[in-house]
Every structure is written in structure tokens, then in C-alpha cells.
Structure 1
Amino acid sequence: MTEHHLAVTRTARYYQLGELSATTRRIWFVCHGYGQLAAYFSRHFAFLTEADPHTVIISPEGLSRFYLSGNGGRVGASWMTRDDRLHEIDDHIGFLNQLAEQVLAACLTEVHITVLGFSQGTATVSRWLTRAPFRPDHLVLWAGGFPEDLDAVAATRLLQGIHLTLVVGTEDEYISAAKITEQQAQLQQLGAFPRLLTFSGKHELNRAVLEALQQVPEPE
């Protein structure tokens, strides 16, 4: 038995909060974690667009969906698993690049871009951005890590000259203080010196922190 692969066209899903136009000043690309759906994940960011009509949130959804329990009920999505992972990575990078090209074409070139990955989404956005046609102004890795298997040259090129923020809840059941220290050391070896934000909470988003992230200054 031999394994083969065939590239096919499929329909990807994403959600948008706010209206894209030449007056858009801030774009957030936000990638959910394992077992989440973009429709629900994006709701955490709705207050940003409500407060500022020049801000737009783009929330893509992982290409693989599954039932969270048994044969029915709630559905979640995943960016990848360990099975056939390289092709899954290529597929979602292709999806995200096509999406970004479409979104950014509707904006002025000086639009401020924040890319946020939550949990499994942190590895997704990190891999994506090393092969993306643009560089974000601000990269947020929330409750997850920067992939250790990324090419060091590509990773260093990505991390130079951008705001980098790590966010983690003080009661996060998946990330210990030791893990955070390891993550900071890894990033420093790549020439990055991230800001670390913590909040009282678990493996979850936090509105107060999102408000603080919105205040990262735009480049002059």
C-alpha cells in the first residue's frame, strides 16, 4: 500500500466584524484554539469594533471540523493534528494567505495589523507569518507557544521589528510558570524580547487584556 496526495479545492470559512474600507485603520486576524469555532471565538472581539468603527476583526476557522463528544452535538474545529501534519500546515497557510490578500486589498497600505493566536492558534499564526506576504505590526501569542520546529532564519526574520506579546492566565491549566520561562528564552534566542501580560484566569480570553492590546501604539 502506498500513500498518495491530491490537491483539491474546498470551501474555507471565516467571520468578519466591522466593514472594510479605505478608512480602516486597524485589522485584527484572530485564530481560535483547538475545538473552537470562529463564530463564537470572534464574539470576544466584538467590543473592539463597536468602540472603533475603523477597526475590523477577521476570524478564520480551522479546516477540520469534528464532534466534540461522540457522534453528535457540539462541533469544534482544529488547525491540524500530528497525522499528515505537513500537508495540513500547507493547506491552512494557503487559506490564510488567500484570505489576507483579499482583506488587505480593501485597505490602505498603512493599515495597522495585529495577528493573535489563541492556544493551538499560536502555532498556526506563527507558521503562517513566516510564509505570509505581509508583516504584522503586532503579534500576540495567547495561551500557547511559538513552534520549536520553525526554521530559525525564517523565525528570526519574522520576529525582528514587530511588537510581540505573550499572554497567559495565572491559573492556566495547560501552561506552567516554567513553560512561560522556556518560551521567553526560546524567543530571546531568536532575537525577540516579548512583553508578557498575565491576568487572573484560566485557559481563556480576557476583555481587559484585549483592551490593553488595542492600545499598542501604531508605528510612526
Structure 2
Amino acid sequence: MAADPLEAQQHSLVVPRTARYFQLGNLGTAKRLWVVCHGYGQLASFFVRHFRAVLEHAPDTAVVAPEGLSRFYLQGTSGRVGATWMTREDRLSEIEDCSAYLDLLLAQLLTYCPPGVEVTLLGFSQGASTLSRWLMRSSFTPARLVLWAGAFPEDVEPPAAQALFQRIPQLSYVCGNADAFITEERLQAQLEYLAQLGAKPRLLRFVGGHQLDAAVLRELAQ
């Protein structure tokens, strides 16, 4: 049956675009590389500043914070701007775009780093699910994955998730004790879900809400 010309037909076109990221430290001399993904409504330029605590503790580290491909005004049509990795609209395409972006970025970063650099991936809030979805699609295996105040996505194939956790040497989960989004009930549910997938995360807690914590970052940098 021919398409109704009065009904809108969705099509897709892959286009080149500019993605930005922010860096702390020197890639050329780094023994450790951290790739850190921000949460919903944040900008990488502000997010990366928290990781100065990592470089102060481990100066042989470089930190790179990619920024989500979609930006928007946080309130109304002016003022502060934030970024997001995905929304529910055309979600699968956004997931694939983010994964391709992170694949390309990591490949470029590794060409700048010394051979054998140790890679840590850290995702905060929405960034946790973004990194997880990327790793599900990527052949890359980091030395460590840190899920911070976020969730491992539930809409994934369990065998693929189990295979992912089998190949990752270290998994950490970090959460504040007063996080408005990750309540104690949600935290326990997340830990149970990870256990069902064969993951045994190291749990790190701190006094605070939905935020990064310098003391925990320094501990992870050890």
C-alpha cells in the first residue's frame, strides 16, 4: 500500500557535527586517563572542575569530560544552559550517536596517551547510563567503571550486560547518603539489579546529596 501523502513520514540523515570536550592534565605524559560524563542539565566545562581533586592527588592523571550533544536553556528561552545525552524522543538514534561520539573520542585520546595508559570511565547521574550503554556497544574494556548516583539501564539484554561485567576488572558505585534521586530504596534496588547481572560493585558512600564529592574522588584516584 502506498504511503498516505498527508501523513508525515519519518526519515533519518546522518550529519557531521561539532562535539566539544574539556581536559585537565597532560595526555602525553598521563599514566591514567579518566573519561567522565556529566549528568542531565550540566555542562562539561563546569563538571570537569570537580576533578581537580584527582589531579591534586594523582598528577600523572589526565581527565577528559565530553559534553552531551544536545544543549538547552535550563529555564525559559535564555539564561543558564545545560546539556543532555538523550531524551525519550528518537531515543535509539541518540544512543547510537552518543556511542559513536564516545568511540571516536576515546580512539583519538588514546593516540595522544602513552601506550598502556590505564583508563577509568566515570558517569554521574545520566552520564552513568550513557557510559553503560556505550560499553554495551563497544569492544573497549576500561580498567574501571564508576557509576555515580546513576543507574545501569534496565532496557538492555541481560546476557550482554552479564558479558560486560565479566570483562570489566573493577566496578564502583558511589552515592551520597542524602541523594534526593537515589534514595536508600532505589540504591538497594540498583545493587540487587547489578547482582542479578553478575556485577559485584564496590560501594562508596559520602555525606551529601546528588553531587560529586572531593574526598571520594581522591580515594578513587589512589
Fold shared by both chains (TM-score > 0.5): yes
Q: CA deviation at 1:53?
A: 3.2
- Residues 55-108 of structure 1, C-alpha deviations (whole Å, 9 max, x = no match): 000100000000000110000000000010000001111110000000012223
Partner-residue secondary structure (3-state), 2:88: coil
Q: Distance in 2 between matches of 1:173 and 1:190?
A: 26
1:162 paired with 2:155, answer no
Map of 2:213 onto structure 1: 206
Q: Distance in 2 between matches of 1:100 and 1:113?
A: 10
Task: Name the larger-Rg structure.
Answer: 2
TM-score (normalised: structure 1): 0.94
1:195 paired with 2:202, answer yes
Letter in 1 for 2:173: L
Q: Distance in 2 between matches of 1:113 and 1:164?
A: 13
Map of 2:153 onto structure 1: 147
TM-score (normalised: structure 2): 0.93
- Are the counterparts in 2 of residues 97 and 133 from structure 1 also a CA contact under 8 Å? no
Q: Distance in 2 between matches of 1:136 and 1:66?
A: 31
Identify the match of residue 113 of structure 1 among 116, 119, 129: 119
1:63 paired with 2:66, answer no
Partner-residue secondary structure (3-state), 2:74: strand
Letter in 2 for 1:83: E
- Are the counterparts in 1 of residues 57 and 218 from structure 2 also a CA contact under 8 Å? no
My pick for the range that moved more, 43-52 or 55-64, is 43-52
1:179 paired with 2:191, answer no
Q: Distance in 2 between matches of 1:61 and 1:182?
A: 29
Q: Distance in 2 between matches of 1:47 and 1:140?
A: 16
The alignment-based identity, stated in percent, is 54
- Are the counterparts in 2 of residues 20 and 56 from structure 1 also a CA contact under 8 Å? yes
Moved over 4 A (4+): none
Identify the match of residue 38 of structure 1 among 29, 40, 44: 44
Q: Distance in 1 between matches of 2:64 and 2:169?
A: 20
My pick for the range that moved more, 183-192 or 29-38, is 183-192
Map of 2:16 onto structure 1: 9
Map of 1:126 onto structure 2: 132
Partner-residue secondary structure (3-state), 2:80: strand
Letter in 1 for 2:13: L
Q: Distance in 1 between matches of 2:43 and 2:67?
A: 6
Structure 1: tracts of 5 or more residues without a match: 216-220
- Are the counterparts in 2 of residues 25 and 54 from structure 1 also a CA contact under 8 Å? yes
Map of 2:86 onto structure 1: 80
Partner-residue secondary structure (3-state), 1:16: strand
Partner-residue secondary structure (3-state), 1:166: strand
Letter in 2 for 1:32: H
- Residues 3-60 of structure 1, C-alpha deviations (whole Å, 9 max, x = no match): 1111100000100111111x32100000000000000000000232244332000100
1:103 paired with 2:113, answer no
